[in-house]
Amino acid sequence: MIRIQRGRIDVKAVVDSVRRDDAGAIAVFLGTVRADPDVEALDYEVYTPMAIRTLTDLVDRAKAKFGVLGMSIVHRVGRVSVGGDSVAIACAAVHRAEAFAACAWAMEEVKRIVPIWKRESGPRTRRTPRRRSGARRKAREARA
Amino acid sequence: MRVQVKLFASYREIVGADQLAWTLRDGATLGALVDAVLDAYPRLRGHRDTMFLAVNRAYAQPDVALRDGDEVALLPPVSGGLG
């Protein structure tokens, strides 16, 4: 399952899409919208045809690189409120090690190459979609 | 030849449109197109070093030759995922 969608993500459906009898592990990652100061929601903009293409290629590379059995990725487009899921990745593998590794790798690849941009939205925040600087991201992670 | 130039996020806001129809000489490269767009929209120039380029929905380098009807995209650094 590779999908860009406006509505909420049905996490169970994403997990079920990679279930198979020869898998001994399913790793699931959810990216959620964090309640940073002045942030009530994130608005996601997607170049959907290219995003689907890059996600499809990403899943193929994950299978080749980690030997995973199945991987699904669903990303939201449009507004996602604080606490909502913006992205879900489910990865099935024979053993947990490759499931965890592939899931983590896939999320990094999503942030690196998939044409998706986000804009913070809040009472005093009307920002242009942008990439967070490394310093700012590290500061946020340090507070998390 | 004519190509479509798609713009996203901050680039769309700078240009004021999500798509431009652009005419250029046959055999022109992607880099030449980008230079022409940046000449027409100078506020994009400051973004050149971080701009990603795509042709027909795949990342591309500036030296690629364009063809009539190509869909070119100027992409700000991506930022999907968690937030």
Written in H, E and C, the secondary structure of chain B is: CEEEEEECHHHHHHHCCCEEEEECCCCCEHHHHHHHHHHHCHHHHHHHHHCEEEECCEECCCCCECCCCCEEEEECCCCCCCC
Q: Is B77 exposed, middle or buried (0-12, 13-18, 19+ CB in 10 A)?
A: middle
Separation of alpha carbons A83 and B31, rounded Å: 41
A130: chain B residues, CB-CB within 8 Å: 9-10, 76-77, 79
Separation of alpha carbons A24 and A124, rounded Å: 47
Chain B touched by A96 (CB under 8 Å): no
In chain A, the residue whose alpha carbon lies closest to the alpha carbon of B57 is A50
Report CB contact under 8 Å: B76, A129. yes
B4/B78: higher pLDDT: B4
Separation of alpha carbons B82 and A110, rounded Å: 10
Residue A141: how many other CB atoms lie within 10 Å: 8
Question: Which amino acid is located at B46 in the chain?
Answer: G
Question: Which pLDDT band, with edges at 50, 70 and 90, does A101 fall under?
Answer: very high
Interface mutation target, options A117, A132, A136, chain B, most CBs of B under 10 Å: A117
Question: Which amino acid is located at B60 in the chain?
Answer: A
Interface mutation target, options A42, A50, A141, chain B, most CBs of B under 10 Å: A50
Least confident of A38-42, A62-66, A105-109, A138-142: A138-142
Q: Has the ipTM of the complex gone over 0.90?
A: yes
Cβ pair A104, A62 in contact under 8 A: no
Of A34, A87, A117, the CB nearest to B8: A117
Chain A touched by B64 (CB under 8 Å): no
Separation of alpha carbons A77 and A58, rounded Å: 19
- A4: tokens are 């860009």
Of B13, B57, B77, the CB nearest to A50: B57
Q: For A38-95, write each residue's pLDDT tens digit.
A: 899 999 999 999 999 999 999 999 999 999 999 999 999 999 999 999 999 999 999 9
- B2: tokens are 């004519």
Chain A touched by B43 (CB under 8 Å): no
Nearest Cα to B23, choosing from B60, B75, B69, B63? B69
